[in-house]
Structure 1
Amino acid sequence: MQRSVKLFLKYVSLNMLGMLGISFYILADTFFIAQALGPNGIASLNLSIPIFGIMHGFGLMLGLGGATRYKILQSQSRQEQAAKVYSQTLLFTLIIGGVFFIVGQFGSGAIAEVSGANLETFETTQVYLRTVLTFAPFFILNNTLLSFVRNDGDPTLAMFGMITGSLLNVLLDYIFIFPLEMGMFGAALATSLSPVISLGVLMIHYFKPLNKLSFTFQQLEKRLVRDVMFLGSSAFVNEISGSVVMFTFNTIIFSLEGNNGLAAYGIIANVSFVVLSLFAGIAQGTQPLFSESYGLKNLTQIKQVLVLSLGTSLLLSSIIYLNTFLFTDQLIMLFNSEQNPHIADMATTGLLIYFSGFFFAGINIVSTSYFGATNQPKRSLLFSMLRGGVFIVPFVLILSRLLGMKGVWLSFVLAELFVMAIIIWKMNPEKRIKRKKDLGNITR
């Protein structure tokens, strides 16, 4: 038990710090844009997030899927197969990054239109999208390498990579937006340089004695790539679902309250991004521990890590909601640069309703990661889909008609509650270990 607790604290605390750093620069981005460009700037940022989420989804899918298979194989002393997984994942990552780069050069305007940008927000939305998609190869490669470095026994460096990129992004954000007056392009450029800086830090791992990551050029194997994508599919679906939900919310909220409603949702969406990143920190931090325990068929350690991660999630939810309740006005004032009372009123109600859903969302995020890390991609994918559009889209369509903006906020809470009930019903680590053998032979 002592070893499990020690490893849990190390991996989870470091990963939560790293994810907090990433979310901090997103908040800083939002704050600086709010101060410089007002509600229309926030609305443009909000409209850009869905495609940004899809790009991140590919990086997380390949990173977590590849690193999960890598860790299982490594725990079984199958280093040659593990190295093959690493090389194949990196090669496919570069291909996907290239596709996003091309889309950014020729399709950013079309994406802005489809996202719902109007005459007031089209230009800034297009600028933001084109810039971040130009740097897509770096974003996706950074997400992939972070997972592999963490699973290769170096969570501290992974944390430093995330934090260094994030802190320098905040500094560049300020310089580009205010002294240099580069507007939305400056905000997007600062954000886009963050993964480049992080990758520079991660390169240190390759010069360390503990490094077992060995890349070789080779022909892509469809079966292996499919296995990696399947294992990481829940992370991809989480991001895609988030983008689908945000697009749906943007459309409904705009029909109800216009750009003021989008600005209020932008405040909630960006603050909630910080919260979700902390839960993701728990989930990604425990992934190497779950995968190693599964590879070794260590049921006791799986149960210990599961109890620790779920308990941490509930504690974190309680702390977050208490602070949200106590400091609601202060949070809103940070991003409501024009002190618009209608935006403040909508955001206040939204924060108090929406954030109650994190008691359930935290458990769902950790549990979904557990299923993926223990070689149960079908269940992990199913629950990710349920957390996304399957439940929340029908809820928001119905409740927004009945309750207006309150119904929009409440839909998130009810969707997460329903998913949690199903997850509790299906989770059984003991049955999993006894019934199934490792499926890692995919690389043979």
Structure 2
Amino acid sequence: MNLENIQSNKMRTILQFSIPSIIAMILTSLITVTDGFFIGNFVGKEGLAAINLGLPIVYLFLAVGLMVSVGGVAIAGMALGSNDINKCNSVFNQTMCTTMVATILLSVIVWLSLDPMLHILNADSQVAMIFTDYYVIMLLELPIMVINASFGMFIRGEGKPQYFMKVNILNVLLNILLDYLFVRWFAWGVKGVAVASLLSALVTLLYILYFFINKSSVYKFGRFTFSGDVLCSTLLNGSSEFVGEMSMSISMFAYNYVILRNIGVDGVTAFTIVGYIAYIFSMVIIGFGQGASPLISFTYGAEEHFLAVNLRKITNFMVLTAGAMVLLLVLFGSRWYSSLFVKSAVVEQMVHSGVIIYAVSFLFSGINTISSFYFTSIGKAKESAIISSARGLVILLICIFTLPSLFGMTGVWLVSPITEFLTLILSLFLIGKESKYLSRRLTQS
């Protein structure tokens, strides 16, 4: 990275770092959508509902993985900005070892918790059987998925996001091919989808390991001395991402609990289908965040605070534009999309009416996400955690437990727009405080 280049080409540099990340994240989300397509068309709406019931598990893994890796990448990025290469490598190796141990232990804990989770949700026998078949295998895949994503952040952090993009293209193409083979031809159902994900993740891991062994110019595998201080700083700095993803896990569990009791399996299926668009858009926004974060960390670590602020503002403009474009696409394509996954008139009508309401949240969610990334990147975990917990837990849960009971399925769709709008007010307030703080520092200096 070069401060002069970043200063003179802000937007181009953000896009240079973000576009490969966005493509990688979209490709990752397409795996989920492809899985949903095969499950919906070859297993049925019960299959889609069962997979959605387990999404809290996926978010739990992401919570732990992002807390460690985002926190570690931010520390390593600031060390790189101050030209401390030894610390970069030490943080890299400790971060990856911590991620591996934490996710493996998490798999064991979740495996022991599958039956209690189904009991609380009171899922019917068919949905419960599909759920178990799928997630028993996925508990082998999810640690590898998180480890791959963590490695990818360090690949982007040393300025080579294109390599990780190519690896993700391979992952997606292989996953789609294996989905088609295992589900369409072998008729393995949800087990086939899970096995396809596992094999694709393993192949992806091999290509990533090849990069760090043979191609990496900054981060290298090697011995390191475990540092409790680095671990504490990593977990603290990544706490907002943990809060955000953990909140998603809790809120998704709450969503499923409320929808099952108020609407039933059809409601969960419709929410799952709408969730695919929300998931793709969130991956785009995270891609922008992951692309901008190393630039913000680097410039802030180099004492170029207002350059970091400008990078945030430009990224916010980009995500707002992206949100408006996706909303327009949803307005024109909702009818086609509603019939893509299942052949059920009831579910299709729910999706058609609901996706338009839900998509309004895209106008606000991008700015909230980038604001959270910004505070994490400059080492201000408290502000980032406040934003993440507001949009992912506090405000969201209040809306989940009130709006559906008042307005039925329409209330379900209203939850996200109202939550994101209220969080936007909070984000702007915290950004305003940070701007005043930087202005005072500039005046004093």
TM-score by length of 1: 0.93
Instruction: Please list the CA deviations of residues 364-387 of structure 1 after superposition, one character each: whole Å capped at 9, or x if unmatched.
Output: 011110110111111111110001
Q: Which residue of 2 aligns with 1:442?
A: none
Of 380, 399, 402, the match for 2:403: 399
Output the CA distance in 1 between the equivalents of 2:351 and 2:187: 29
Q: Which residue of 2 aligns with 1:412?
A: 416
- 3-state SS of 2:221 partner: coil
- Structure 1 residues 25-44: aligned runs within 5 Å: 25-44=31-50
Say whether 1:23 aligns with 2:29: yes
Q: In the alignment, residue 422 of structure 2 is paired with which amino acid?
A: F
Q: Which residue of 1 aligns with 2:265?
A: 259
Of 331, 341, 357, the match for 1:335: 341
Say whether 1:367 aligns with 2:371: yes
Contact 1:56 1:143 in 2 (8 A): no
| Greater mean alpha carbon deviation, residues 38-47 or residues 400-409 | 400-409
Output the CA distance in 2 between the equivalents of 1:300 and 1:226: 28
Distance change (3 Å), C-alpha of 1:124 and 1:394:
same
Q: Which residue of 2 aligns with 1:9?
A: 15
Shift of 1:6: 2.3
- 3-state SS of 1:268 partner: helix
Q: In the alignment, residue 78 of structure 1 is paired with which amino acid?
A: D
Say whether 1:357 aligns with 2:361: yes
Distance change (3 Å), C-alpha of 1:112 and 1:220:
farther
Q: In the alignment, residue 164 of structure 1 is paired with which amino acid?
A: L
Output the CA distance in 2 between the equivalents of 1:276 and 1:47: 19
Say whether 1:69 aligns with 2:84: no
Q: Which residue of 2 aligns with 1:441?
A: none
Q: In the alignment, residue 346 of structure 1 is paired with which amino acid?
A: M
Output the CA distance in 2 between the equivalents of 1:233 and 1:19: 21
- Structure 1 residues 195-274: aligned runs within 5 Å: 195-207=201-213, 211-218=217-224, 220-274=226-280
Output the CA distance in 2 between the equivalents of 1:240 and 1:353: 25
- 3-state SS of 1:153 partner: coil
| Greater mean alpha carbon deviation, residues 300-309 or residues 147-156 | 300-309
Shift of 1:116: 4.4
Output the CA distance in 2 between the equivalents of 1:102 and 1:303: 42
Shift of 1:208: 5.1
- Structure 1 residues 172-183: aligned runs within 5 Å: 172-183=178-189
- 3-state SS of 1:427 partner: helix
Output the CA distance in 1 between the equivalents of 2:161 and 2:409: 41
Q: Which residue of 1 aligns with 2:426?
A: 422
Q: Which residue of 2 aligns with 1:119?
A: 125
Q: Which residue of 2 aligns with 1:388?
A: 392
Q: Which residue of 2 aligns with 1:83?
A: 89
Identity rate of aligned residues, in percent?
Answer: 25
Output the CA distance in 1 between the equivalents of 2:111 and 2:261: 30
Instruction: Please list the CA deviations of residues 254-303 of structure 1 after superposition, one character each: whole Å capped at 9, or x if unmatched.
Output: 11211111111111112211111111111111111110111111134213
Output the CA distance in 2 between the equivalents of 1:335 and 1:53: 23
Q: In the alignment, residue 94 of structure 1 is paired with which amino acid?
A: M
Output the CA distance in 2 between the equivalents of 1:152 and 1:205: 12
Contact 2:182 2:196 in 1 (8 A): yes
Of 345, 353, 365, the match for 2:349: 345
Please give the root-mean-square deviation of Cα atoms over the aligned residues, in Å.
Answer: 1.9
Q: Which residue of 2 aligns with 1:159?
A: 165
Shift of 1:104: 5.2
Instruction: Please list the CA deviations of residues 334-386 of structure 1 after superposition, one character each: whole Å capped at 9, or x if unmatched.
Output: 112x2x22111211221011110111111101111011011111111111000
Which runs of 5 or more structure 2 residues have no equivalent in the other structure?
A: 1-6
Contact 1:15 1:155 in 2 (8 A): yes
TM-score by length of 2: 0.93
Output the CA distance in 1 between the equivalents of 2:199 and 2:249: 22
| Greater mean alpha carbon deviation, residues 112-121 or residues 295-304 | 112-121
Q: In the alignment, residue 193 of structure 2 is paired with which amino acid?
A: A
Residue correspondences, number:
435
Distance change (3 Å), C-alpha of 1:296 and 1:115:
farther
Distance change (3 Å), C-alpha of 1:172 and 1:60:
same
Shift of 1:233: 1.7
Q: In the alignment, residue 188 of structure 2 is paired with which amino acid?
A: M
